[in-house]
Structure 1
Amino acid sequence: MEMFSMWLTVAVFVFALLASAVKVLREYERAVVFTLGRFWKVKGPGLIIIIPVVQSMERVDLRTLVMDVPSQDVISRDNVSVKVNAVLYFRVIDPEKAIINVERYLEATSQLAQTTLRSVLGQHELDEMLSERDRLNDDIQRILDVQTEAWGIKVANVEIKHVDIDESMVRAIARQAEAERQRRAKVIHAEGELQAAEKLVQAGTLLGGDPRAIQLRYMQTLTEIAGEKTSTIVFPMPMDLIEAFSKGKDRPG
């Protein structure tokens, strides 16, 4: 009976040892295997064997990970305080580097993304943050990708989600936008006056070239005024027109 119990204990121990040695990795997982503390190889996916006690492993997920970058306080180049948050898309492309070269690569990437977000946005003015997000996203993505390359991580995309501005600054921006619209309206009006003046000068030059032209123009204006059915018409009579009539009367019949 004692012999049977001993063999049963040994069998259970061997079964548990074999069970702990067998690992199953999914298609998107890899195992970084260490033998007596030294890196051996990257294994997976599928069924792998890990020698208990002698070997150990770290699982690494190769899927694209989505990380939310918490809201960061940023001082823009024109000294405006804003809160900015973003979302980061990245994945592990080298499991060996992700485990060996950095401790907790997820936390390291998150901290690096936060500092890079503050650093890059702090070099730009508020107008650029609001109107040039695509360019800023590309700049942040490129910087992160270069710095995380040594960790075996590929940063695929960075998207700035929200730029929160203080209420007083929102009112100031609204006043600035209104002033800008008024400035454009005045410029457009001045350009219209300039073009009208140029056309009037051209018309005056053409009409002044022949006295008969100005006479015809006055007659046409009289016709237009008479058609409005007004009770009183005040119309200036040019001296040139009077002189033309007087000269016509002085001529011998």
Structure 2
Amino acid sequence: MPTEVILVILAVALLLVFAFASIRVVREYERVVAFRLGRLRGPLGPGLVFMFPFLDKMVRVDLRVVTLTIPPQEVITKDNVTARVNAVVMFRVVDPVHSVMSVENHAVATSQFAQTTLRSVVGRADLDTLLAHRADLNEDLAQSIAQQTAKWGVEVSVVEIKDVEIPEMMQRAMAREAEAERERRAKVISAHGELQASQELRDAALTLSEAPASLQLRYLQTLLELGADQNSTVVFPLPMDIIGPLVRAVEQVTSAPEETKPADPVRKPGLAVVDRPLEGDSR
């Protein structure tokens, strides 16, 4: 085989190897930040990207949403309660060039800044706010973190406080407080029920007083209910219009003047009264 043919074959093989070594495939959710001899070429992709070996260097950047878990942080709330709080941060890269040029590792930087921001925001709130108004704290966290990460080409979409751990003594105190609150509500509801029942009873009494016959029917119904139980004792209610004259007569007798009462025999102290028979009495 002639030498020229061998050289041509070697040259073609080298070109093929060089071509295959220069081709890079960039996925749809990725971008490539390329540098040629240290100078920025800009973001490339998606699809086929040609990179010259030994001349170009590329950094792949994922554009998908990344879920970052913040480890538990020891926090002292505004009312001096120690708590352990962890959170979840969701972010994505919106500017690949800034995420590579402005910060060494945007994921680590976002995690560290989220931890410090979590301690700062939770430390400004009391325990009740941390437990009952968590949405407001999440919004403050998201705004604080997004304001810093925007310089790195990172967009923070969601920040959620995941779990709050408080001391066992504080848990028992909160349980007693919740129990006392439930008892208070039960007493208030019972009082309102008694008030409504008394109002209904008053209305029923007014209605019955306007119709005496209905009161008599109510008496008869009560007697039927008592007789259905086969009791040995029957309580018979007497209406006031029947026993009223008797009560008034007793009051008149008890309130009569003293002179109308029969005079009692006068007895002196230490002397006994003896009824002696008269003369001529046959006794």
Bin of the TM-score, shorter chain as denominator length? 0.7 to 0.9
| Alpha carbons of structure 1 residues 240 and 122: separation in structure 2 relative to 1, 3 Å | farther
Task: Choose between structure 1 and 2 for higher RCO, CA contacts under 8 A separated by at least 6 residues.
Answer: 1
User: What SS is found at the alignment partner of 1:175?
Assistant: helix
CA distance in 1, matches of 2:193, 2:79: 35
| Alpha carbons of structure 1 residues 214 and 149: separation in structure 2 relative to 1, 3 Å | same
Q: How does 1:56-205 map to 2 (within 5 A)?
A: 56-134=57-135, 136-205=137-206
CA distance in 2, matches of 1:211, 1:39: 104
* Cross-structure match for 2:222: 221
What amino acid sits opposite 1:47 in the alignment? Answer: V
Q: Give 1:185 shift.
A: 0.9
CA contact (8 A) 2:219 2:237 kept: no
| Alpha carbons of structure 1 residues 202 and 78: separation in structure 2 relative to 1, 3 Å | farther
Query: Number of residue pairs matched?
Result: 233
| Alpha carbons of structure 1 residues 71 and 23: separation in structure 2 relative to 1, 3 Å | farther
| Alpha carbons of structure 1 residues 178 and 34: separation in structure 2 relative to 1, 3 Å | same
User: What SS is found at the alignment partner of 2:164?
Assistant: strand
CA RMSD for the aligned pairs? 3.3
Moved more, 31-40 or 82-91: 31-40
| Higher alpha-carbon Rg | 2
| Alpha carbons of structure 1 residues 214 and 77: separation in structure 2 relative to 1, 3 Å | farther
TM-score of the superposed pair, with normalisation by structure 2: 0.69
User: What SS is found at the alignment partner of 1:215?
Assistant: helix
| Alpha carbons of structure 1 residues 240 and 125: separation in structure 2 relative to 1, 3 Å | farther
Query: Which segments of 5 or more consecutive residues in structure 1 lack a partner in the other structure?
Result: 1-10, 246-253
User: What SS is found at the alignment partner of 1:79?
Assistant: coil
Consecutive aligned runs of 4 or more in structure 1 exceeding 6 Å deviation: none
User: What SS is found at the alignment partner of 2:182?
Assistant: helix
Query: Which segments of 5 or more consecutive residues in structure 2 lack a partner in the other structure?
Result: 1-10, 247-283
What amino acid sits opposite 1:173 in the alignment? Answer: M
CA contact (8 A) 1:73 1:81 kept: yes
Q: Give 1:35 shift.
A: 4.8
Q: How does 1:5-24 map to 2 (within 5 A)?
A: 22=22, 24=24
CA distance in 1, matches of 2:45, 2:52: 12
Q: Give 1:195 shift.
A: 0.6
* Cross-structure match for 1:31: 32
- Cα offsets for 1:82-119 (capped at 9, x unmatched): 11112222221111111222232122101121122223
